[in-house]
C-alpha cells in the first residue's frame, strides 16, 4: 500500500507513525490497520475553460479511519497535490481530531491545480464538478469537507450548493468553513489563526517569554498566516518582522504593517510588489532571528539542512507537516526551541468546524463569543495534556501530541474489534 500512496509527505507521516507505534509498544498486528488509509477515491475533473477548451484535472479524497464517527478534512487546491500528500494529510487529521477529542476520523481531499491560474468561472466549474464526483463517497454522517490551502468560503458555498441541488434540499452540514449566510458559523474563518495565537501565548507563558515587543516571522499569508500575524501584532503587541507567500518573502526589522499587507493581498491577490518591507529569500525568512516562527504554508520547509540554523524560541506550526522527522531530531537535540506541533497548533480550524457541523445539524446557532470561548477551552485541555505527557515521559511535544492522538484511535479500534 505504501507504493500506492508513494510520496515524500506520506513517507514522512508513516515515519512519524512508526516512532509513535514503537513508543506506545503497539502490537504488530495493529500497526498496518492504523497507519494505512481506509479508502480513497481518485477522479478526473473536466472543466470547461473560458476559451472554449476542456481541461481535465486530477482530484482525490482519502478517508483515513472510520472508527470514531464520520471522517472530516479539508480540500486542497494546489499544484503540489498527489494522492500520497492527501493521504498523509488525512492521517494527520486523524491524530489531530483524536487529540482534540472530536468524534471524527481524518480525511483530506485535493485537486492537482494552481487555483490562481483559473478565472472565477473556471474555479466554480472545477469546485462544482469535483464535489459532484465526490457525492457517492461523502455524506454528512460519512465524510464532511472543509477548506484547506487554495480553497475558501466561496468554494465551500459552491460545494454545499452542488451537494444540496443533488439532494433536493439544503444540506449545510456537508461542508464546514462555508459563509455564515448559508449556515456557516461565526468565527470559523479566523479559527485556525486564532488557535495558533492562543497556543503561542500559552507557550510563551511556559518559557517565560514576554510577547509584548518581541518579534515574529510568519511564512504563508493566507487564512492561517494572515490571521495569526494580525493576532500576534494587534492582540499581543508583537513586531512582525518577516512575512511571505508563494510569490516571495519580505523583511522589515522595524515591524511590518500586517493590516496593510492583508489589504494589499485582498486587492492584488498576493504580496508581489508589497512596499512595506524589503524582499528577501524564502530560506532567509525561516532562519531570521526572532522570538516566534510560524510556518503557515506548505509541508517540509524545516528540514535537515536548516533546522540547525533556526533562531526562534517558539516554533508554532500553523501548517500541516512543516517539520521533517530529520529536523525533529535536530530540534530535540538542540532543546532550545519550544515546538507547538501541527496537530495541536492548527487544530483550531477543525475544532470550530466541529462546532459548525453541530450547529448545521441542529439549525441552532451560537454567537462568536461562545465559539471562541469553547475553542479556547478545548485547546487549553489539549495543550495541558501534551505538556504533561511530554514532561512525564521525557519526550518531545510532537511525540506527546501524536502519542495521545494515536492511542485514542488505537483504543477505539480495539474496542470495536475486527469485522467479521
Residue number, 17 or 264, with CB nearest to ligand NAD: 264
Stretch that binds ligand NAD, among 178-186, 207-215, 294-302, 354-362 (CB under 6 A): 294-302
Report, in Å, the least distance between residue 148 CB and ligand NAD: 5
Residue number, 105 or 225, with CB nearest to ligand NAD: 225
d(CA 237, CA 147): 29
CA 44 to chain centre: 25
d(CA 27, CA 23): 11
State the number of CA atoms in the 13 A half-sphere of 64 facing the CB. 33
Binding mask 262-281 for ligand NAD (x = CB under 6 A): --------x-----------
d(CA 151, CA 109): 11
Of the residues 72, 96, 108, 313, only one is catalytic, namely 108
Residue number, 203 or 352, with CB nearest to ligand NAD: 352
Residue number, 72 or 408, with CB nearest to ligand NAD: 72
Report, in Å, the least distance between residue 164 CB and ligand NAD: 22
Is 150 in a helix, a strand, or coil?
coil
DSSP H helices in 103-187? 120-134, 153-167
323 near ligand NAD (CB under 6 A): no
Tell me the longest C-alpha to C-alpha distance in the chain. Answer: 64
| From candidates 106, 184, 341, 349, binder to ligand NAD by CB under 6 A | 349
Quickly tell me which residue has 489563526 as its cell: 193
221 near ligand NAD (CB under 6 A): yes
85 near ligand NAD (CB under 6 A): no
d(CA 318, CA 413): 29
183 near ligand NAD (CB under 6 A): no
* Lateral strand order in the sheet of 39-48: 39-48, 54-63, 105-112, 71-78, 143-147
| From candidates 107, 131, 296, 331, binder to ligand NAD by CB under 6 A | 296
Cis peptide before 420 (omega within 30 of 0): yes
Q: Give 208-211 contacts, CB < 8 A, sequence gap 24+.
A: 209/291, 209/313, 209/314, 211/236, 211/237, 211/238, 211/291, 211/292
Stretch that binds ligand NAD, among 60-68, 118-126, 290-298, 370-378 (CB under 6 A): 290-298
Stretch that binds ligand NAD, among 97-105, 142-150, 286-294, 376-384 (CB under 6 A): 142-150
229 near ligand NAD (CB under 6 A): no
195 near ligand NAD (CB under 6 A): no
The answer to whether the CB of 163 falls within 8 A of the CB of 73 is: no
297 near ligand NAD (CB under 6 A): yes
150 near ligand NAD (CB under 6 A): yes
- How does 230-239 read in b/e, with b if 16+ C-beta sit within 10 Å? bbbbeebebb
Binding mask 301-320 for ligand NAD (x = CB under 6 A): -----------------xxx
Strands 215-219, 292-295: parallel, antiparallel or unpaired by DSSP? parallel
User: Does 208 participate in catalysis according to the annotation?
Assistant: no
| From candidates 346, 359, 360, 382, binder to ligand NAD by CB under 6 A | 346
d(CA 346, CA 15): 21
Active site residues: 108
Q: Which chain residues interact with ligand NAD by CB under 6 A?
A: 147-150, 192, 219-225, 244-246, 270, 282, 296-298, 318-320, 346, 349
Amino acid at each position: 500500500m505504501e507504493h500506492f500512496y508513494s510520496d515524500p509527505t506520506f513517507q514522512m507521516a508513516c515515519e512519524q507513525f512508526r516512532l509513535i507505534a514503537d513508543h506506545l509498544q503497539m502490537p504488530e498486528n495493529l500497526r498496518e490497520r492504523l497507519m494505512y488509509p481506509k479508502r480513497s477515491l481518485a477522479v478526473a475533473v473536466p472543466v470547461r475553460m473560458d476559451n472554449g477548451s476542456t481541461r481535465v484535472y486530477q482530484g482525490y479524497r482519502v478517508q483515513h479511519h472510520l472508527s470514531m464517527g464520520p471522517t472530516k478534512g479539508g480540500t486542497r487546491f494546489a499544484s503540489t497535490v498527489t494522492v500520497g500528500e492527501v493521504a498523509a494529510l488525512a492521517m494527520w487529521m486523524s491524530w489531530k481530531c483524536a487529540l482534540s477529542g472530536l468524534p471524527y476520523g481524518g480525511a483530506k481531499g485535493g485537486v492537482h491545480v494552481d487555483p490562481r491560474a483559473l478565472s472565477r468561472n473556471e474555479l466554480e466549474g472545477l469546485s462544482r464538478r469535483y464535489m459532484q464526483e465526490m457525492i457517492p463517497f461523502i455524506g454528512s454522517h460519512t465524510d464532511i469537507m472543509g477548506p484547506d490551502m487554495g480553497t475558501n468560503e466561496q468554494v465551500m458555498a459552491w460545494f454545499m450548493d452542488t451537494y444540496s441541488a443533488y439532494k433536493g434540499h439544503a444540506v449545510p452540514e456537508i461542508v464546514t468553513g462555508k459563509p455564515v449566510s448559508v449556515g456557516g458559523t461565526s468565527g470559523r474563518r479566523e479559527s485556525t489563526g486564532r488557535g495558533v495565537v492562543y497556543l503561542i501565548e500559552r507557550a510563551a507563558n511556559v518559557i517565560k517569554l514576554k510577547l509584548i515587543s518581541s518579534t515574529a516571522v510568519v511564512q504563508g499569508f493566507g487564512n492561517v498566516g494572515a490571521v495569526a500575524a494580525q493576532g500576534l501584532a494587534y492582540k499581543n503587541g508583537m513586531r512582525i518582522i518577516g512575512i511571505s507567500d508563494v510569490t516571495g518573502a519580505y523583511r522589515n526589522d522595524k515591524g511590518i504593517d500586517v493590516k496593510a499587507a492583508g489589504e494589499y493581498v485582498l486587492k492584488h491577490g498576493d504580496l508581489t510588489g508589497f512596499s512595506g518591507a524589503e524582499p528577501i529569500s524564502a530560506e532567509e525568512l525561516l532562519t531570521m532571528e526572532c522570538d516566534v516562527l510560524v510556518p503557515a504554508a506548505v509541508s517540509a520547509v524545516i528540514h535537515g539542512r536548516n533546522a540547525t540554523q533556526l533562531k526562534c524560541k517558539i516554533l508554532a506550526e500553523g501548517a500541516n507537516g512543516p517539520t521533517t522527522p530529520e529536523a525533529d531530531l535536530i530540534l530535540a537535540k538542540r532543546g532550545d526551541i519550544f515546538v507547538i506541533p501541527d496537530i495541536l497548533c492548527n487544530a483550531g480550524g477543525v475544532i470550530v468546524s466541529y462546532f459548525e457541523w453541530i450547529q448545521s445539524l441542529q439549525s441552532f446557532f451560537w454567537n462568536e463569543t461562545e465559539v471562541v470561548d469553547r475553542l479556547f477551552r478545548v485547546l487549553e485541555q489539549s495543550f495541558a495534556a501534551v505538556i504533561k505527557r511530554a514532561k512525564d515521559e521525557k519526550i518531545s511535544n510532537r511525540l506527546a501530541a501524536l502519542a495521545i492522538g494515536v492511542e485514542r484511535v488505537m483504543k477505539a479500534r480495539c474496542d470495536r474489534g475486527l469485522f467479521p
